[in-house]
Structure 1
Amino acid sequence: MTGTARVPRRTGELPSRLGPGDIVLLDQVDLDRRTADVLVAAGVIAVVNAAPSISGRFPNLGPEVLSAAGVTLIDRAGREAMRAVKDGSKVRLHEGTIYSGDREIASGVEQDADSIADQLIEAKTGMTSQLEAFSANTIEFLRTERMLILDGVGVPAVTVPIEDRHVLVLVPGYGHADDLKRLKRYIKHYRPVLIGVDAGADTLLRAGYRPDVIVGDPNGIEKDTLKRATEVVVPAHLDGHAPGIARIQDLGIGALTFPASGNPEDLALLIADAHNARLVVTVGFQATLHEFLDRGRSGSNPSTFLTRLRLGSRLVDGAAVTALQRNAGSNWAVVLLLVAALLVLGVALAVSGFGTSFLAVLADFGRSAFGQLQEWFA
């Protein structure tokens, strides 16, 4: 196959620099699902990875996503391919080899569904060492950030009223836009505080919601979204340096900084916790062990585990809220069917002259049913 080569120096450049028919050259050990989703959405036809897409440390999900979408994946092509191919040039792939015209640039291993499945099975044995590394990092994180995690010291005071309210935190995770659509009824009923993390804030605005709080690097968030938000919180390094603060200043937007070593999504949860949120609903977060490790940074995010422990029972996954909504909807349907059937029977009895007493019984039933519905949706 032949296509235009794209050689991003950073994974964060992918969304704005890719197009249908492109061939992407990158250098990423353990290709994660979030990156693979971006590549598939852009319509690329092939990915050439200088590094192994599955190293064996843990069963990462990116290669499987590419394979399912029909995207060719060539592994272990070496960094020479990254240096030899110019961004925007035409390249050709044939049997795992990369060509520029008739000149061979580099060779790698072309993966298919079977080879990927075999490597993922072997990679499961590497999860033990990853969890051990994660445990050690968690202890070290607690030493450096114990005041933040245990007492909430350093959490910025946002002006958006959060106390005793529901909070919905949206991060740009797998399927987050679809999950947000399913929560439309929940948002309409409870009107939670909406916190968008990184590009999740853009998703909120595209769905018709104004973000109450944005947490993340402003460089990866659209200008209109930043201007529409009520409050912007920029994560900063412990030395006080805040990436993206220059863009906020150029746009003339006020922002708070949050010096901490945790992930932006964890900082968003800590904001909700410190301001006494009644319930926190998460959308786009990693829900399983495989998804948690599949972040391209496995073993380096102990803040995630400790933050969830701090929120405890107040933290609810958006999928659970959606499931409860479906159950409530089925209860509504049952009651409406019963009421409709009784109304038809009541009309028939009224016509026959026996409906007066029945209508009184129907009224009692209606009051009882309404009370039951209030209990279901309280």
Structure 2
Amino acid sequence: MRFSRLLSRDKERLPGVVGIARVERRPGDLLRRVSAGDIAILDQPDLDRRTAEALVAAEVVGVVNASPSISGRFPNLGPEVLLSAGITLVDGAGAAIMHRLRDGARIRLHEGGIFVGDREVGRGNEQDADSVADHMIEAKAGMAAQLEAFSANTIEFLRRERMLILDGIGVPDLTVAMEQRHVLVLAPGQGHAEEFKRLRRYVREYRPVLIGVERAADTLRALGYRPEVIVGDPADISTDTLKCGAEVVIPAHIDGHAPGLERIQDLGIGAVTFPAAGNPEDLALLLAESHRASLVVTVGFQATLHEFLDRGRSGSNPSTFLTRLRLGGKVVDGTALTTLQSSRTPVSAVLLLAVAALAATFIALVASGLGSSYFDVLADTGNAVFAYLKGLFT
């Protein structure tokens, strides 16, 4: 007994990252099962940012990818997200690792090796900031080919979904009134909660319809707001949020299958399905546009070319590109709105300036002894200040 305890202590002192293995080939299934302290085992070439952000949110301590996380086709963003969060990434471990590791086993990662106890069962390349940077430089050469493939996929997507994109046919009806109202769509992108906090004044002044996409709906409730519409797979959303009274829209495959519909039925919550090939963020934008929103503010969406091409966000699926074209100038990025708000002159400063101007006028008039003409000049000054204030806020 004493010997086994000493052996256990020696194992605990072994170098590397230790956690419980969660083995799933499909990232979507894996993300539903991982939790804090786990090591995610998956097989996904070109690890996308969305999957990486979900793994960070789940607080995993390590990721083992059977495939190369950066294949060189284009500079995808997932590995950078993991490393920035301090998560160990072992890359290119080979397909056999999916069978060698038992789900729920306690494993250790160290310098590219994958260990069960003190026995090495697999090996890959442990990535760091320098190696990922080198891979990203090489991957930029693949951008041209990726853009060509994207163009071809866009034509094919428009052929299949032209009635939805061009005419809005197939968009489900909602009871939430959006016509001639502002709509804010919150997606679960990196830093989405912080970006939304910076828009609190906008939300307070304009009271937009709040649409939460997947786990961003939980973010809204955590920040003290109730989403009026929720779009996404219910498996990625907490029960309390699903029961908050929002209208739930579940993306469905073209064949009509809607993942997560069983959970909604078990909870006794009403929901509508949205059969389309687009991702949940794009479907939320189409909902707002089809229900005649006057302005659509996006928060937590991709903003750069690299993010746009990232497979998990849009990649080979061109729905994002065509959806943005359909909305045109009606869609505004939340970051830009924050910048515009911060550049506005504070109301308190304007009022102080107005009071100072009136006081200076009064003193000048008294000093010059204008007498009966004082009230006329004071009225003219007041009108000028009012016109200035009106022009500032309209």
Q: Is residue 245 from structure 1 mapped to residue 261 from structure 2 by the alignment?
A: yes
**Residue equivalent to 1:18:** 35
Change (3 A) 1:293 1:333: farther
CA distance in 1, matches of 2:325, 2:79: 31
5+ long unaligned stretches in structure 2: 1-15
**Residue equivalent to 1:137:** 153
CA contact (8 A) 2:23 2:101 kept: no
CA distance in 2, matches of 1:206, 1:355: 61
CA distance in 2, matches of 1:360, 1:46: 76
Once the two structures are superposed, residues 225-252 of structure 1 have per-residue CA deviations (whole angstroms, 9 ceiling, x without a partner) of 1222332222222222222222222222
Q: Secondary structure at the match of 2:96?
A: helix
CA distance in 2, matches of 1:316, 1:164: 15
**Residue equivalent to 1:183:** 199
How many positions carry a matched residue from both structures?
376
Measured on the aligned residues, the alpha-carbon RMSD in Å equals: 2.6
CA distance in 2, matches of 1:63, 1:27: 14
More displaced 10-residue stretch of structure 1: 210-219 or 7-16:
7-16
Change (3 A) 1:52 1:373: farther
Q: C-alpha displacement at 1:353, in angstroms?
A: 10
**Residue equivalent to 1:78:** 94
Q: Is residue 228 from structure 1 mapped to residue 235 from structure 2 by the alignment?
A: no
Change (3 A) 1:152 1:124: same
CA contact (8 A) 1:52 1:76 kept: yes
CA distance in 2, matches of 1:24, 1:355: 83
Q: Is residue 5 from structure 1 mapped to residue 24 from structure 2 by the alignment?
A: no
Q: C-alpha displacement at 1:17, in angstroms?
A: 2.4
CA distance in 2, matches of 1:37, 1:219: 17
More displaced 10-residue stretch of structure 1: 232-241 or 31-40:
31-40
Q: Is residue 286 from structure 1 mapped to residue 296 from structure 2 by the alignment?
A: no
Identity %, equivalent residues: 64
CA contact (8 A) 2:308 2:315 kept: no
CA distance in 1, matches of 2:74, 2:218: 31
Of 171, 188, 199, the match for 1:155: 171
Of 309, 314, 319, the match for 2:325: 309
Change (3 A) 1:42 1:273: closer
Of 349, 353, 356, the match for 1:338: 353
Q: Is residue 87 from structure 1 mapped to residue 103 from structure 2 by the alignment?
A: yes
Q: Secondary structure at the match of 2:132?
A: helix
**Residue equivalent to 1:321:** 337
Change (3 A) 1:208 1:29: same
In the superposition, the TM-score normalised over structure 1's length comes to 0.90
CA distance in 1, matches of 2:127, 2:234: 36
CA distance in 1, matches of 2:229, 2:196: 16
CA contact (8 A) 2:187 2:216 kept: yes
5+ long unaligned stretches in structure 1: none
In the superposition, the TM-score normalised over structure 2's length comes to 0.86
Once the two structures are superposed, residues 237-292 of structure 1 have per-residue CA deviations (whole angstroms, 9 ceiling, x without a partner) of 22222222222222222222222222222111111111111111111111111111
Q: Secondary structure at the match of 1:168?
A: strand
Q: Is residue 377 from structure 1 mapped to residue 393 from structure 2 by the alignment?
A: yes
Of 258, 276, 288, the match for 2:274: 258
Change (3 A) 1:227 1:44: closer
CA distance in 2, matches of 1:115, 1:362: 71
CA distance in 1, matches of 2:296, 2:82: 33
CA distance in 2, matches of 1:153, 1:280: 20
CA distance in 1, matches of 2:276, 2:81: 33
CA distance in 1, matches of 2:310, 2:370: 65
Q: Is residue 300 from structure 1 mapped to residue 316 from structure 2 by the alignment?
A: yes
Letter in 1 for 2:35: L
CA distance in 2, matches of 1:259, 1:205: 27
CA distance in 1, matches of 2:292, 2:339: 25
CA contact (8 A) 1:214 1:231 kept: yes
Larger Rg: 2
